[in-house]
Amino acid sequence: MSQHINVLDMAREQLAVAANLLELDKGLHDVLAQPMRQMIVHFPVVLDNGEVQVFEGYRVQHNASRGPTKGGIRYHPDVDLSETSALAMWMTWKCAVVNIPYGGAKGSVKVDTKQLTKRELEKLTRRYVTEISTMIGERSDIPAPDIGTNAQVMAWVMDTVSMQKGYTVPGCVTGKPIELGGSEGRTEATGRGVVVTMEEAAKVMNMDLGKAKVIVQGFGNVGSTAAKLAEESGATVVGVSDAVGGIYNPNGLPVHDLFYRYSGRDGGIREYKDAEQVTNAEILELPCDVLIPAAIAAQLTKENATKVKAKLIVEGANGPTTPEADHILSDKGVLVVPDILANAGGVVVSYFEWVQDLQNFFWEENEVNNKLTRIMRHSFAAVEAGMRAHKTDMRTAALIIGVKRVADATIRRGIFP
C-alpha cells in the first residue's frame, strides 16, 4: 500500500496545515518544507560467496535549528530518498513536541536483511557508516535503531566511528547494547511511550482499559513491547500481526507467549493456532477499542479508514495514517494520538542515553522509565490542551507545538550570513 502513497507529500501536507494555523511566513515555511542536507551513497559489499553487491543508502538531515540532528537507520527493501526525507522531517517535529534538544534526521539502506548473513550485515553496516561519516557524529547527527536494525547494528556503528576517530565515541549513536554505553530502558522505550500515551488518552475519553480490547499491527520492537505493556496495564490484546500476517481471537491472545515462543519462528506468530488468521490489511478493520499501528507508513488510508472500528488509535509506527484517513477518522470521532507524540519515547530515551554517554554517568532503569513517563505525560497534556484550544485534531495540535518550536528557534538564530 505504501508504495502508491508518497509519504513526503503526506509530511508536507501536514506541515502546511500547521504553518497556515501558525501564520508562518512563506520563506520560513519553505525552509521547513525541505531537508537541509541529503546524501545518497552507493557502496559495495563482498558477500560470503565472494561476489560483490552494490547497495544504495541515504542519510537525510531535515533541520538542526534546535540542536544536533537525530534519527534512526532503517534497513528495508522499499526505502528511498523521498521516504527517508519524510521520516527525517517527522523526527524534527517529534523532538520538538517532547522538547528535547535535537533536530531531525533519518538514514536508510535499500536491503532485505533476511537475505544477508550476520557477517554480511556487519560489513554492510560498517561500509554504509563509513560512506556517511562526514554527516554523522556525537555533536552533529546521532543515529539510532529503526526498522531492520537493532542494538547489534548500533554496536557496529559505534565501533566503526570509533575506529575512524582512533578513540571510543559512545555518544555517536544510541540504542547500543548496555555494555557499550547503551541506556537501561532504551529497547522498550518506544513501546512504553506508546502505552503511556494510550493510558493518558483513555483517561481523557473515559475509557476503562481494564475492559478494552487492543489490536496491534506489527510485532517488531515497538509493536511487541506495546502489546506486552498493554496486556500488563490490564487491557486484552485480541489481535497482533507481523510481516507474515496476523492472528485474532476476540477472547484475547497470550502476548508474552507469542513473543517468547513464536516471534522468532519462520512462520512467525501465525504458528500460534488458537486464533483466526487474518492479513495485515484485515487486522486494521477488526472489532477493538484501541488500534496500535506499529508497522510501516500509510496503512490507514481513504480506502479503509471508514471501516476502522477502534475509538482510539495510537500510532506506534511513523506515518501510518494518510491525511485523507485523518479527516475520515476525525469525522467519525476517532481519537488519533499522532506518531510524533505517541512514538516519541524511543528518541526521548535515546536522548537520555546520549546524555549518559557524554557524562560517562549511567542511570538505573527506574530513573529512566520514570523520567520517560513524566515527559510523555507532560507532552500528551500539552498537545491535548492545544487540541481543545485550537479545536482541531491531535496531530495538528502536536504539529502546532513542534513546528512552532522549530520556527521560533530558526527566527531567534536568524538566517546566516
Which residues form the catalytic set?
106
Residue 380 DSSP class: H
CA distance 357 to 337: 31
Q: Please say which residue, 80 or 282, places its beta carbon nearer to ligand GLU.
A: 80
Task: Write down the least CB distance from residue 293 to ligand GLU, Å.
Answer: 14
Closest to 171 in 3D by CA, of 185, 184, 181: 181
Which grid coordinates belong to 268?
Answer: 512467525
- The amino acid that residue 281 corresponds to is A
CB-closest chain residue to ligand GLU: 72
Task: Write down the least CB distance from residue 389 to ligand GLU, Å.
Answer: 26
Task: Write down the least CB distance from residue 70 to ligand GLU, Å.
Answer: 4
How many residues are there in the chain? 417
Which grid coordinates belong to 364?
Answer: 538505573
Q: Please say which residue, 85 or 350, places its beta carbon nearer to ligand GLU.
A: 350
Q: Coil, strand or helix: which one is 278?
A: strand
CA distance 31 to 70: 18
- The amino acid that residue 368 corresponds to is V
Task: Write down the least CB distance from residue 12 to ligand GLU, Å.
Answer: 18
Backbone angles phi, psi at 55, to 5 degrees: -110, 155
Which grid coordinates belong to 48?
Answer: 560470503
Task: Write down the least CB distance from residue 332 to ligand GLU, Å.
Answer: 27
- Count how many Cα atoms sit within 13 Å of the Cα of residue 49 in the half-sphere of its side chain: 4
Q: Please say which residue, 24 or 222, places its beta carbon nearer to ligand GLU.
A: 222
Closest to 194 in 3D by CA, of 173, 160, 220: 220
Where does this chain bind ligand GLU (CB under 6 A)?
A: 70-72, 144, 146, 174, 318, 343, 346-347, 350
Task: Write down the least CB distance from residue 187 to ligand GLU, Å.
Answer: 11
Backbone angles phi, psi at 105, to 5 degrees: -150, 170
CA distance 317 to 12: 18
The CA-CA-CA angle for residues 158, 163, 165, to 5°, reads: 95
> Omega before 44 cis (within 30°)?
no
Q: Please say which residue, 72 or 171, places its beta carbon nearer to ligand GLU.
A: 72
End-to-end alpha-carbon separation of the chain, Å? 44
Q: Please say which residue, 236 or 343, places its beta carbon nearer to ligand GLU.
A: 343
CA distance 63 to 90: 10
CA distance 181 to 140: 19
Strands 246-248 and 236-241: antiparallel
Q: Please say which residue, 171 or 239, places its beta carbon nearer to ligand GLU.
A: 171
- The amino acid that residue 339 corresponds to is D
Task: Write down the least CB distance from residue 105 to ligand GLU, Å.
Answer: 8
Q: Please say which residue, 70 or 395, places its beta carbon nearer to ligand GLU.
A: 70
